[in-house]
Structure 1
Amino acid sequence: MKQVITVILFALAFTSCNSQLETDIVSVSGRKIMVNKIPYLIKGICYHPVPKGSDKVDFTNLTQDLALMIEAGINTIRVYVPIDDVKILDEIRDAGIKVVIGFGYNQGGKNDILSGSFIQYVNTFKNHKAILMWELGNEYNYHPEWFDGDMKNWYKAMNNAAGLIHENDTNHPTTTAHGELPDALALSMSPNIDVWGMNVYRWDNPEGIFAEWKAVSKKPMYLSEAGGDSYMTITKAGFKNGLNEKAQAAATLKILQKTFANTEINSGVTLFSFTDGWWKAGSNTTQDIGGWAPNSSGVPYDGTPNEEFWGIVDINRKKKEAYTVLKEQYSNVNKQGN
């Protein structure tokens, strides 16, 4: 009898262990992202946690951050550099959240596209349940100077990298974070991109991008960035200059409403961003006004990207008004069954 019980317990333990190792199957079907053959709507956030006094990503606050994300109904985080600590990915997985892993072109040979080392990362983590998609580049179309002035060089490199991912991992789509709507050149040279992410800053209304995308492609898309900051450089649109959480909350509400009103085309959003980043302008020990971002005139409501004020929580994880808006919108989407 003891032997039978031992065998049963071993089998249960083995099954439990295997369930942690088996990856979710992420695929595309028409305009939809599918996870285990079920449509997946991204209710996401861009996540690049950098503490005061630093310019390096640090996951010390991960447990607290994940608790805030779970409360807000966030199911996806988008990171700009690969997470190479499996314990961090494990904690994200255990929170029920998936990750869009971003690869840069030239990162000094570490997990980057130029050296080809990114594929080692893919093969190391391709069976991890936290992985949603592999992202190649972030707004590189705004920087032809990085590619000898010719975007064809980037699109070729991106497409080849996506093809290499397909050869090594058949269970996760490739994506990119393109600045605005990709043009005909980008689309024609990048057939290996499965899902197009687009960083879209059109004041507080991204709705036009969905019809524009429908006209040029039948692939899935999502807003890889959208949002507004909590500082008004000038008084405008009824919002006073200076710190202004109400302006950010108002823009967040309208952006998310338009995003989820168009899910027949759009697969969701990773709002920019989770926490304020004090490293982006001036001293990284203080929160400074200013900063620079390409093609940023569409930032609500002053047309100015105050780069250190984009979080839905501040650097100390205090919730801003935009956090409450996001929580309400993501919860409403959940209730609708998406």
Structure 2
Amino acid sequence: MRGINRNILRGTLVLSYIAVIIFILFGISSLYSYLNTGADRSGMLRTEIKKIDQYLPQLEWASLNNEGRVMDDQTLYAIQNDYLDAWYVKHVAFKTNSLTGIDDYYTETARKNIIEFVEQNNDKNISIVGTTLSHNPTLDFFSEDGKLAVITDKDVTEYKRIYQDDALVLENKEKSTYKIILLLEDGLWRIRHMIKEVSADDINKFESASKDFKSLKGINYYPQDSPWDMFGDKFDTSIIEKDFKIIKKSGLNSIRIFVPYEDFGKAHVKPEKLNKLKQVLDLAESQNLKVVVTLFDFFGDYSVLNWTLNQHHAATIVSSLKNHKALLGWDIKNEPNLDFKSRGKTNVIAWLDNMIDLVKSVDSIHPVTIGWSNTQSTSILKNKVDIVSFHYYEDLDKLDAAIKIMRTEIPNKPLVLQEFGISSYSGLWKPFGSSDDDQANYHKKVQEIIAANNLQFISWTLYDFNEIPTAVVGRLPWRKKAQEFYGFIDKNGENKPAFKYISNQ
């Protein structure tokens, strides 16, 4: 009996020993499998979805005709995989403001810009939801040692939604060309440089639009019966069409119009207002007139907290009109320097600076300007705008000197005299005002100065108006009355003597 017990005990010990050995071997095997799984690049983004299900933009390589070493299919496929992975992890980084996977697909130098961009967006609570929809890469160079490749990716279709504080700020779709250098490191093709190029087509379009500014002969336009309320209840395309024919026949080639911020719906632009704006550009195109669109009329709140709302407003309008053939350019704001004292000069300039960037990010083709109320402010943001615009209602004898100063301070930008004029009102509220003949002599002299200085111009304005809104010049009757008589055409529809000098043709 005792012998049997010993055998049982011995058997139990042997089985226990075997079980322990099996358990240890199982644990080592599991650990090994886990470590191998961690090295699988399909799990780098902490997702169970494989890359093929994450990101599959259209991609078509150009025929291989590169300099350097001959490219084999296996290496080209590896470059393609890692290149698309790099785009994908960057999309994720900009969406989540994290850097997961960036180290694997970008070299230390290339990571710096991404890290700074993510940190900046994180601070401002900005996130970018984006993707690329198509790529058209060309292999330009493959080094003899097989560790460096240079590609040009043409017409990359990018779609982006930019959010700030969870509110949609901008939605944009564009095509761009990139120059990329990739290095083979640790078995991965990492991006060393990625440079976005401006396409020759975009440059040509921009230069063409800028040339139109250099031959600009225009007028600030409101219909006679709806000044400062062009897109309101009195909107009438037949009246606008008739006026545009008058403008074209007079020798002018452009108009400047105004988009009131609140009337158009602020952040949520009203479709019916946008449709009226498009109709105006359609009518201008039918008469071969170009249009300068002034944004943010009747606007004065430059609070940083509202920037996202302002951007959404501008992005909606700019994206809707940027391909219109009648569009000449964008005027960010009418006379913003008049808000320096009440709103703070620093605040206004920062808002303008940001809005220029926003408009250019949506429309890279058409020039951008600011309608300064005087010549003294024109140097502000001179390196950001494409055209320098100023208004002049002062002594004409001093205009020549003011132009020379601006040309010295801003030597490489076209100058546009964007508003000028004189009222022909002389009556009860201003007994020593100017007459119709005085107005004609004023415009004759201005056109002489314009010609002598090779200036572009947009005069104020086509019509004398029957009623001036209080919001424009206040309630003082002598100010409102004078404002009614700046036109080249009187209240009865007759040309005033100044009409002879509406253009310098």
Same fold (TM over 0.5): yes
Go from structure 1 to structure 2 and tell me whether the alpha carbon gap of 1:260 and 1:114 turns closer, same or farther (over 3 Å shift): farther
Aligned-pair Cα RMSD in Å = 3.5
The correspondence for 1:95, drawn from 259, 284, 287, is 287
SS at 2:211's partner residue? strand
Name the aligned partner's letter for residue 97 of structure 1. Answer: L
Residue number in structure 2 paired with 1:224: 418
Identical-residue share of aligned pairs (%) = 23
C-alpha deviation, 1:190, in angstroms = 5.5
**2: CA distance, partners of 1:49 / 1:171:** 29
Residue number in structure 1 paired with 2:310: 115
Deviations 1:21-61 (A, max 9, x none): x99966359xx9314xxx73111111122517x86225422
Deviations 1:258-304 (A, max 9, x none): 012111xx3x110011112333277x9xxx96216xxxxxxxxxxxx
Go from structure 1 to structure 2 and tell me whether the alpha carbon gap of 1:153 and 1:203 turns closer, same or farther (over 3 Å shift): same
Go from structure 1 to structure 2 and tell me whether the alpha carbon gap of 1:114 and 1:138 turns closer, same or farther (over 3 Å shift): farther
Task: State whether residues 105 and 114 of structure 1, in contact with CA within 8 Å, keep that contact through their aligned partners in structure 2.
Answer: no
The correspondence for 2:358, drawn from 143, 148, 164, is 164
Go from structure 1 to structure 2 and tell me whether the alpha carbon gap of 1:23 and 1:106 turns closer, same or farther (over 3 Å shift): farther
Structure 1 stretches lacking a partner, 5+ long: 1-21, 293-304, 332-338
Go from structure 1 to structure 2 and tell me whether the alpha carbon gap of 1:23 and 1:198 turns closer, same or farther (over 3 Å shift): same
Deviations 1:214-260 (A, max 9, x none): 111121211010121112369x9xxx946721011000010011012
Residue number in structure 2 paired with 1:320: 496
Task: State whether residues 488 and 499 of structure 2, in contact with CA within 8 Å, keep that contact through their aligned partners in structure 1.
Answer: yes
Residue number in structure 2 paired with 1:250: 441
Whether 1:56 aligns to 2:229 is yes
Task: State whether residues 24 and 171 of structure 1, in contact with CA within 8 Å, keep that contact through their aligned partners in structure 2.
Answer: yes
Residue number in structure 2 paired with 1:42: 216
**2: CA distance, partners of 1:119 / 1:170:** 13
Go from structure 1 to structure 2 and tell me whether the alpha carbon gap of 1:190 and 1:24 turns closer, same or farther (over 3 Å shift): closer
**2: CA distance, partners of 1:75 / 1:23:** 24
**1: CA distance, partners of 2:298 / 2:433:** 37
Task: State whether residues 339 and 348 of structure 2, in contact with CA within 8 Å, keep that contact through their aligned partners in structure 1.
Answer: no
Name the stretch that deviates more: 204-213 or 115-124.
204-213
Higher-strand-fraction structure = 2
**2: CA distance, partners of 1:254 / 1:164:** 39
Number of residue pairs the alignment of both structures matches:
274
SS at 1:270's partner residue? strand
Structure showing greater relative contact order (alpha-carbon pairs closer than 8 Å, 6 or more residues apart): 1
Whether 1:214 aligns to 2:407 is yes
Go from structure 1 to structure 2 and tell me whether the alpha carbon gap of 1:44 and 1:113 turns closer, same or farther (over 3 Å shift): farther
Task: State whether residues 281 and 308 of structure 1, in contact with CA within 8 Å, keep that contact through their aligned partners in structure 2.
Answer: no
Higher-helix-fraction structure = 2
Task: State whether residues 297 and 334 of structure 2, in contact with CA within 8 Å, keep that contact through their aligned partners in structure 1.
Answer: no
**2: CA distance, partners of 1:92 / 1:167:** 25
**2: CA distance, partners of 1:26 / 1:312:** 34
C-alpha deviation, 1:156, in angstroms = 1.1
Go from structure 1 to structure 2 and tell me whether the alpha carbon gap of 1:313 and 1:106 turns closer, same or farther (over 3 Å shift): closer
**1: CA distance, partners of 2:289 / 2:308:** 26
SS at 1:100's partner residue? strand
Name the aligned partner's letter for residue 350 of structure 2. Answer: K
**2: CA distance, partners of 1:81 / 1:94:** 21
C-alpha deviation, 1:309, in angstroms = 0.4
**2: CA distance, partners of 1:24 / 1:230:** 44
Go from structure 1 to structure 2 and tell me whether the alpha carbon gap of 1:98 and 1:114 turns closer, same or farther (over 3 Å shift): same
Go from structure 1 to structure 2 and tell me whether the alpha carbon gap of 1:114 and 1:247 turns closer, same or farther (over 3 Å shift): farther
Task: State whether residues 126 and 169 of structure 1, in contact with CA within 8 Å, keep that contact through their aligned partners in structure 2.
Answer: yes
Name the aligned partner's letter for residue 134 of structure 1. Answer: W
Task: State whether residues 423 and 434 of structure 2, in contact with CA within 8 Å, keep that contact through their aligned partners in structure 1.
Answer: no
Go from structure 1 to structure 2 and tell me whether the alpha carbon gap of 1:157 and 1:105 turns closer, same or farther (over 3 Å shift): farther
C-alpha deviation, 1:152, in angstroms = 1.4
Go from structure 1 to structure 2 and tell me whether the alpha carbon gap of 1:202 and 1:233 turns closer, same or farther (over 3 Å shift): farther
**1: CA distance, partners of 2:499 / 2:202:** 31
Task: State whether residues 217 and 253 of structure 2, in contact with CA within 8 Å, keep that contact through their aligned partners in structure 1.
Answer: yes
**1: CA distance, partners of 2:479 / 2:322:** 36
SS at 2:479's partner residue? coil
SS at 1:48's partner residue? coil
**1: CA distance, partners of 2:394 / 2:207:** 27
Name the aligned partner's letter for residue 271 of structure 1. Answer: S
Name the aligned partner's letter for residue 46 of structure 1. Answer: N
Larger Rg: 2
C-alpha deviation, 1:145, in angstroms = 4.5
**2: CA distance, partners of 1:151 / 1:197:** 19
Task: State whether residues 436 and 496 of structure 2, in contact with CA within 8 Å, keep that contact through their aligned partners in structure 1.
Answer: yes
Go from structure 1 to structure 2 and tell me whether the alpha carbon gap of 1:146 and 1:79 turns closer, same or farther (over 3 Å shift): farther
Q: What's the TM-score, normalizing by structure 1?
A: 0.71
Task: State whether residues 33 and 41 of structure 1, in contact with CA within 8 Å, keep that contact through their aligned partners in structure 2.
Answer: no
Structure 2 stretches lacking a partner, 5+ long: 1-200, 261-272, 302-306
C-alpha deviation, 1:107, in angstroms = 4.7
**1: CA distance, partners of 2:205 / 2:482:** 36
Whether 1:179 aligns to 2:353 is no
**2: CA distance, partners of 1:179 / 1:108:** 15
Residue number in structure 1 paired with 2:461: 273
Residue number in structure 1 paired with 2:249: 71
**1: CA distance, partners of 2:379 / 2:457:** 21
